[in-house]
Structure 1
Amino acid sequence: MATTLDDIVAAERDPSLEPPVRITGLMVQYYEVCRRELWFMSRGIDIDRDAANIRRGTHVDESSYRDLRESFQVNGRISIDVVDSGEIMEVKVSSTLEEPARLQLLYYLWYLEEVLDIEKDGVLAYPTERKRERVTLDEENRERIESVLRGIVEVVDSETPPALEKKPVCEACLYQDLCWM
């Protein structure tokens, strides 16, 4: 029987149930950037978290807007930041991968609304570019994120990784040795 979003939401709301898939914001990003990367990550094949670009992103996230936001862990795996306006903020180093970042924020807004009955708007921030974008979970964005979530379940449930596909991001990907050896 295929996993549905209703199955996931029900399990997230009831701590006695084990969610069929534990979707994270990072999984949403990986789905948009590279589904093969998502498949590897879902199997516990993780990247080197000490790589320079990972450290840079962590530094920007930890040092930007610190006086304006509070961080919260939701169900032990989703980390959200709430700014003093009450909006959910996602901070990224650059807008190079803008759509994956937007989808990650939309997932957080969707999760808060669907699982916790909390309606919030979001802010996507790129402090090094001095750029901010307001993000709302309107009907179009809800349909988009729910389609992505169904796609994540499909990738994670697959027995084999998605087909290899050369993309511009492959050169900077920390999984490239696994794909291209």
Structure 2
Amino acid sequence: MVQYYHVCKRELWFMANGIDIDRETPNIQRGTHVDQTSYGDTRRSFLIGNRVQLDILESGEVMEVKVSSALEKPARMQLLFYLWYLRKVHDLEKDGILAYPTERKRESVRLDETTTAEIEDTIRGILAVVSLDSPPELKTKPYCGSCLYQDFCWM
């Protein structure tokens, strides 16, 4: 939900209200393939509860793998949420790595006072969006044309 919140609040609302996208589309399949085939020898996936799934590198860092850096802030916020969750819920201090294997790009991510406040604001924002009776107002974004929810927005 963190990533959806920073990409499109309407998309977040649709997903949170059980209106899910077709997971078999080429873009979704490409992302799944990159995630499943990158860094497989140095990372392991963990499911915490039934909602939080994260990857841990052998070094102990939390890793988030994305196909492209086009939506870098949402990906960084998702990783920061994992770091915040581990700190707040499990009292574990971890650093993170945001990786774009197709671009051969990696970035270190750390949770600090500023990013902690951003994550906590995001969580409050998510709760506000998902509690709405109808989706938030439509705001056109550069990537609307490739969004799998566009049929719901542009009807």
1:127 to 90, 96, 101: 101
1:165 to 139, 142, 152: 139
Q: Which secondary structure does the structure 2 equivalent of 1:164 belong to?
A: coil
* Cα-to-partner distance string for 1:7-42 (whole Å, 9 max, x where unaligned): xxxxxxxxxxxxxxxxxxxx1111011000100111
Q: Mark the runs of 5 or more structure 1 residues left unpaired by the alignment.
A: 1-26
Q: Mark the runs of 5 or more structure 2 residues left unpaired by the alignment.
A: none
1:108 to 50, 68, 82: 82
- Which residue is 1:38 aligned to? 12
CA distance in 1, matches of 2:74, 2:13: 16
Structure 1 residue 136 corresponds to structure 2 residue 98: no
Paired residues in the alignment total 155
Residue 46 of structure 1 and its aligned partner are, at CA, apart by 0.1
2:67 to 58, 68, 93: 93
- Which residue is 1:84 aligned to? 58
Q: Which secondary structure does the structure 1 equivalent of 2:133 belong to?
A: coil
**Structure 1 runs, 4 residues or longer, greater than 4 Å off:** none
Q: Which secondary structure does the structure 2 equivalent of 1:168 belong to?
A: coil
- Which residue is 2:46 aligned to? 72
Q: Which secondary structure does the structure 2 equivalent of 1:81 belong to?
A: strand
TM-score (norm 1): 0.84
* Cα-to-partner distance string for 1:118-156 (whole Å, 9 max, x where unaligned): 110000000000100000001111011111111000001
Paired residue type of 2:89: V
- Which residue is 2:28 aligned to? 54
1:152 to 122, 126, 130: 126
CA distance in 1, matches of 2:6, 2:148: 16
CA distance in 1, matches of 2:34, 2:78: 17
Residue 77 of structure 1 and its aligned partner are, at CA, apart by 1.8
